[in-house]
Amino acid sequence: MRIGLVGKPNVGKSTTFSALTETPVDIANYPFTTIEPNVGVAWLPLREKCACNELRVRKEKQGRISPIIENDNRHGSICNPKSGTCNGYQRLVPVTLVDVAGLVPGAHQGRGRGNQFLSDLARCDALIQVVDVSGSTDIEGNPVGDGGSKPMDEHQFLLDELDAWIVGIIQSSWSRGARRVQSEGEKALSTFLLDQLSGIGANEQHVNAGLHSVSENHPDSGVPWSWGNDELMTLAGKIRSLLFPISIVANKADCIEESSWDELSKFIIESGGILVPSSAEAELALRRASKAGFIQLNPTTSKFSITELGKKKLSKKQHNALESISKTLSKWDGGGLVGLLSSVVFDRLKRKVAYPVQDETHWVDGDGNILPDAILVPEGTTAKGLAYAVHSDLGNGFIRATDAKSGRVIGAEHEILNGDIISIHAKT
């Protein structure tokens, strides 16, 4: 699971990245602070309780484990995650974030940093655009105080640049591809497009939807070799919308009234996207205090309690500042940056969680680790698909699988449901 943070320069992409991944990166109030992409991991809480909750209940019933003791520091969790943590049955799974250089209008013609870095986004499952809704920066990211670019314009130009980038990829050899249709028929066009765009993750379905969109929107477009920029932008736009679903952080919301992002919010929701207002800077301040051990933070509600260490180290002024930040953040709906990430992964991308195990009775791997993996898979993933997601050898050698909750044997084509615990039997 890989998500790209995009937008014009100086909007708070790196601040968002730093808050979500808890890693320090360069942040500054001028354009192009980031040139080389930052790549890191955000830990996303699963929406449902970890499967170790069900295992504990089963074990307690069988008298194989004693009930939770009062000061259990894992609050009941009994799994052994290979990556991430689980506390009070709240399991965290990794999502890779990529924070790239800012994009300016005309980037596809080489303006700003150009758009070469867009290839860093090629393997992303979705994009989050960070928009400066406060108007404190112009469309190129220069600080202007107020009266900067409108949120809607900021979003529209990004879509245009992404589409122009995709057009650029197909245009270089377009006439050759289009002419193949003359000799080989319609199918040759989709094969050509697939060849050109597979590098950015496009599949046959995306390409066919793009071609369909051209015939729908440009009924008089004629033969492909006569298509102009309009037809190609329609083609690219459709492919881009399927390949990179975009959601929005309405950032710097701390500096402006809510109506400033109304128009963009309406537009995004109508196109099936999500917009969440936030202040990445404020979230980062809370995360830093939490990482330093001064507060215990719920990143989705932005509520916190002061730890013993915090009581000793934080001044009254610092404490008040954190309280005031928390109050500002919690007035917006959507759960802030983590809430947005969660909606992107579970609502927009419809990812399901599956727990592959080796032993279907005890829900452990070969070393006795309980529920070591929690993997996010696309809707419709089969048992064999899950095997491939774990390891290609497991996929290649797939014989059958067992649904560990029911003990039933399932076949290669069985669809994985959210929360399934699956043991895979494969030839080695």
Ligand X SMILES: Nc1nc2c(ncn2[C@@H]2O[C@H](COP(=O)(O)OP(=O)(O)OP(=O)(O)O)[C@@H](O)[C@H]2O)c(=O)[nH]1
29 vs 119, beta carbon nearer Mg ion: 29
Gap between the Cα atoms of 103 and 13, Å rounded? 11
Stretch that binds ligand X, among 21-29, 71-79, 169-177, 371-379 (CB under 6 A): 21-29
Q: Do the beta carbons of residue 149 and residue 8 sit within 8 Å?
A: yes
Binding site residues, Mg ion, CB under 5 A = 13-14, 33-34
38 vs 381, beta carbon nearer ligand X: 38
Go through the chain and tell me how many residues it has: 428
Q: Which does 9 bind (CB under 5 to 8 A by kind): Mg ion, ligand X, none?
A: ligand X
Q: Which does 255 bind (CB under 5 to 8 A by kind): Mg ion, ligand X, none?
A: ligand X
Q: Which helix (H) or strand (E) holds 339?
A: helix 336-342
22 vs 415, beta carbon nearer ligand X: 22
Gap between the Cα atoms of 274 and 207, Å rounded? 25
Is residue 302 near ligand X by the rule CB under 6 A? no
Q: Which of residues 215-274 bind ligand X (CB under 6 A)?
A: 251-252, 254-255
Please state the closest distance from residue 291 (CB atom) to ligand X, in A: 18
Q: Which of residues 33-92 bind ligand X (CB under 6 A)?
A: 33-34
**Strands 2-6 and 126-132: what pairing?**
parallel
Is residue 28 near ligand X by the rule CB under 6 A? yes
Q: Do the beta carbons of residue 138 and residue 257 sit within 8 Å?
A: no
Please state the closest distance from residue 369 (CB atom) to ligand X, in A: 38
Instruction: Please pick, from the candidates 2, 22, 23, 32, the single residue that binds ligand X as defined by CB under 6 A.
Output: 32
CA angle 304, 305, 310 (to 5 degrees): 115
317-325 long-range contacts (CB < 8 A, ≥24 apart) are: 321/285, 322/285, 322/286, 322/289, 322/295, 325/282, 325/285, 325/286
Gap between the Cα atoms of 156 and 30, Å rounded? 22
Q: Which does 149 bind (CB under 5 to 8 A by kind): ligand X, Mg ion, none?
A: none
Gap between the Cα atoms of 224 and 231, Å rounded? 9
> E-assigned strands of 190-251?
246-251
Is residue 148 near ligand X by the rule CB under 6 A? no
* CA-based torsion, 256, 258, 263, 265: positive or negative: positive
Instruction: Please pick, from the candidates 13, 56, 108, 155, the single residue that binds ligand X as defined by CB under 6 A.
Output: 13
Is residue 10 near ligand X by the rule CB under 6 A? yes
Please state the closest distance from residue 20 (CB atom) to ligand X, in A: 12
Please state the closest distance from residue 279 (CB atom) to ligand X, in A: 3
Pull the structure tokens for residue 132.
């400066």
Please state the closest distance from residue 94 (CB atom) to ligand X, in A: 22
Q: Which does 28 bind (CB under 5 to 8 A by kind): ligand X, Mg ion, none?
A: ligand X
Residues that bind ligand X (CB under 6 A): 9-15, 27-29, 31-34, 102, 141, 251-252, 254-255, 279-281
